[in-house]
């Protein structure tokens, strides 16, 4: 009977050792899987961040180029307005009421053209923002009026 008890303890010890070995291997496999999953998630996050950063950079570049093109177009329009002012001066009478009116129109065209050439659309936006900040109530009232006119024109 002692032999049977001894064999029972040996079997029990071997089963315990096998269970401990299986537990350790399972624990190691789980740890390895966790580490690999963590690395993959980190890599995916880094790639997503890089893609988002590249997209933001491209959008910024496109916006910058669009702004430059708009300013160049405004400068071209300003140059055309100045040229038109010269044409008005050359082709209208120099004296009398018509001469005075055409001279004032040419001056206005020339001034607006110079403004567009010098400031561009970004300058116009800055000037409008400053005007609205200095006169907020009239700006709101003008906005309401423009909204009313737009609503009225789209209703018909």
pLDDT digits (tens, 9 = 90+) for 77-109: 888 888 888 888 888 888 888 888 888 988 988
pLDDT at 149 exceeding the cut of 90: yes
What is the distance, to the nearest Å, from the Cα of residue 129 to the centroid of all Cα atoms in its chain?
A: 20
Q: Average the pLDDT over 61-87 and give the result.
A: 83
Q: How many Cβ atoms from other residues are within 10 Å of residue 106's Cβ?
A: 19
pTM here?
Answer: 0.49
Provide, rounded to the nearest whole percent, the portion of the chain with pLDDT above 90. Answer: 14
As a whole number of angstroms, the distance between CA 100 and CA 10 comes to: 121
pLDDT at position 14? 80
């Amino acid at each position: 009977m002692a032999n049977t008890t001894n064999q029972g303890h040996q079997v029990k010890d071997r089963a315990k050792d096998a269970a401990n070995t299986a537990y350790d291997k399972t624990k190691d496999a789980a740890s390895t899987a966790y580490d690999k999953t963590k690395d993959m998630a980190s890599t995916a996050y880094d790639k997503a961040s890089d893609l988002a950063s590249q997209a933001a950079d491209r959008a910024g570049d496109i916006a910058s180029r669009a702004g430059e093109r708009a300013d160049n177009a405004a400068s071209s329009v300003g140059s055309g307005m100045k040229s038109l002012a010269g044409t008005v001066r050359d082709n209208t009478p120099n004296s009398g009421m018509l001469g005075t009116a055409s001279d004032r129109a040419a001056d206005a065209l020339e001034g607006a053209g110079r403004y567009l050439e010098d400031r561009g659309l970004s300058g116009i936006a800055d000037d409008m923002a400053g005007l609205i900040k200095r006169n907020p109530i009239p700006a709101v009232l003008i906005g309401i009026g423009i909204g009313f006119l737009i609503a009225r024109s789209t209703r018909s």
